[in-house]
């Protein structure tokens, strides 16, 4: 069996990597369920402080995926999260390419709703990107989005862990004011939401630098082909280089998005159906749906353990993407296997809707 951490969490198999830790599927012996566990892989004080800050985020919202619990054992620390199987937006774009505008509106509405809850607690996420936006495996049903990975988030007024002139965030999703050393603020997160929107609509990572230069030289560009004008007006407002001209709140952007969605045509019977598949692999030998198997259980079910995982039908690949702004030759990124297939999950009634100070870790 796997290593049992802090007498409670049994590490089953690695399923991803976060900013400062490896993510494992783990069995929680106390709650009798599988969870995701991020285990700190760097032991320097700087990484440990970021780790403690991340696990201290406690925001209870259906579209926010915050840590649920934490533990320390000798020289290791971990925090646990719910296990989400649908992968990230990177997986979705890899499967389908550009998504239908109405479907994008649903995803953006959920993202902005979650971000509004984060901002209401005074937290700036600072790393909104497709790989950190995860999905439940809902099949062809309504998508359920989760905003995850608070590894570099911070509360307004909280001291930085880096030098003032050091830019924190993922290249290509950083607001222009952050590149000049401005203090982290909510509009910077909203700029990243605009880039995510363009990524979903065009099926490729936008060129943020070229967009900012175009805005500066020519003003707001016209809607790219394939993006309805009402929706483009919302996206363009999120992408304003001047934070004062941008949406100031996630709720404000969400209201504008709802109004734009009402002007879009309803999906027709011939429109492509988007299906969100389970991206997690099968449990390794020795583990079943109810947790680790006993010797008797394992010997009684050898045929079950030997069965290969059922193969899902191949997902259709889209090749009819519209010209992209500003880089029409950009190609969709290739998602790494299973990256983003895990996420924190809100446990209803088990966590507080507020952000608590980070607790002190026990001594090794």
pLDDT tens per residue across span 193-248: 999 999 999 999 999 999 999 998 999 999 999 999 999 999 999 999 999 999 99
Decide if pLDDT at 307 tops 90: no
Whether the Cβ atoms of residue 78 and residue 68 lie closer than 8 Å to each other: no
pLDDT for res 159? 65
Q: What is the pLDDT averaged over residues 260-287?
A: 90
pLDDT tens per residue across span 248-262: 999 999 999 999 999
Decide if pLDDT at 122 tops 60: yes
- Find the radius of gyration of the CA atoms of the chain: 21
Note the pTM of the prediction, 2 decimals.
0.78
How far is residue 5 from each of residues 25, 71, 95, 358, measured CA to CA in Å?
A: 12, 8, 36, 21
Give 341's pLDDT tier (boundaries 50, 70, 90): very low
Residues 6+ apart with CB under 8 A from 10: 1, 2, 3, 4, 26, 27, 29, 292
Whether the Cβ atoms of residue 353 and residue 60 lie closer than 8 Å to each other: yes
Give the whole-angstrom CA distance, residue 241 versus residue 255: 21
Give 300's pLDDT tier (boundaries 50, 70, 90): low
Q: Walk me through the domains of the chain, giving residue ranges and CATH numbers.
A: 4-83 (3.30.200.20), 89-261 (1.10.510.10)
Strands 287-288 and 291-292: antiparallel
Number of helices and strands (H, E) in the chain? Answer: 10, 12
**Angle ∠(112,331,256) on CA atoms, nearest 5:** 20
Strands 76-81 and 33-40: antiparallel
**Angle ∠(256,211,88) on CA atoms, nearest 5:** 65
Closest CA to 61 of 11, 102, 115, 99: 115
pLDDT tens per residue across span 10-69: 999 998 876 667 889 999 999 999 999 988 865 655 666 666 666 667 788 999 988 888
pLDDT tens per residue across span 131-186: 999 999 999 999 999 999 888 888 887 766 555 554 566 788 999 998 888 888 99
Element (H, E) at 93: helix 89-96
Catalytic residues: 127
Whether cis (ω within 30° of 0) applies to the bond prior to 327 is no
More confident residue, 325 or 236: 236
């Amino acid at each position: 069996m796997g290593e049992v951490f802090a007498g409670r969490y049994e590490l089953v198999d690695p399923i991803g990597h976060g900013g400062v830790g490896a993510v494992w599927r783990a069995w929680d012996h106390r709650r009798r369920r599988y969870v995701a566990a991020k285990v700190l892989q760097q032991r320097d004080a700087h990484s440990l402080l970021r780790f403690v800050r991340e696990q201290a985020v406690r925001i209870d919202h259906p579209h926010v995926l915050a840590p649920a619990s934490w533990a320390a054992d000798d020289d290791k620390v971990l925090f646990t999260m719910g296990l989400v199987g649908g992968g990230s937006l990177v997986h979705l774009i890899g499967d389908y390419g550009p998504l239908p505008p109405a479907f994008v509106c649903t995803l953006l509405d959920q993202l902005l709703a979650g971000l509004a809850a984060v901002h209401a607690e005074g937290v700036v996420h600072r790393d909104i990107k497709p790989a950190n936006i995860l999905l439940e495996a809902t099949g062809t049903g309504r998508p359920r989005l989760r905003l995850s990975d608070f590894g570099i988030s911070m509360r307004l007024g909280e001291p930085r862990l880096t030098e003032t002139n050091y830019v924190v965030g993922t290249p290509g999703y950083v607001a222009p004011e952050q590149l000049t050393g401005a203090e982290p603020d909510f509009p910077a997160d909203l700029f990243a939401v605009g880039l995510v929107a363009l990524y979903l609509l065009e099926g490729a990572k936008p060129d943020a630098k070229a967009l900012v230069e175009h805005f500066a030289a020519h003003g707001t560009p016209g809607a790219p082909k394939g993006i309805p004008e009402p929706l483009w007006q919302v996206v363009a407002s999120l992408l304003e280089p001047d934070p004062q001209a941008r949406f100031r709140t996630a709720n404000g952007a969400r209201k504008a998005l709802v109004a734009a969605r009402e002007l879009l045509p309803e999906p027709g019977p011939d429109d492509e159906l988007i299906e969100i598949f389970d991206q997690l692999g099968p449990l390794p030998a020795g583990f079943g749906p109810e947790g680790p198997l006993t010797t008797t259980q394992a010997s009684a079910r050898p045929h079950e353990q030997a069965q290969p995982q059922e193969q899902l039908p191949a997902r259709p690949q889209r090749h009819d993407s519209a010209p992209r702004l500003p880089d029409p030759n950009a190609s969709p990124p290739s998602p790494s296997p299973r990256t983003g297939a895990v996420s924190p999950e809100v446990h209803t009634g088990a966590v507080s809707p507020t952000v608590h100070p980070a607790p002190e870790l026990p001594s090794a």
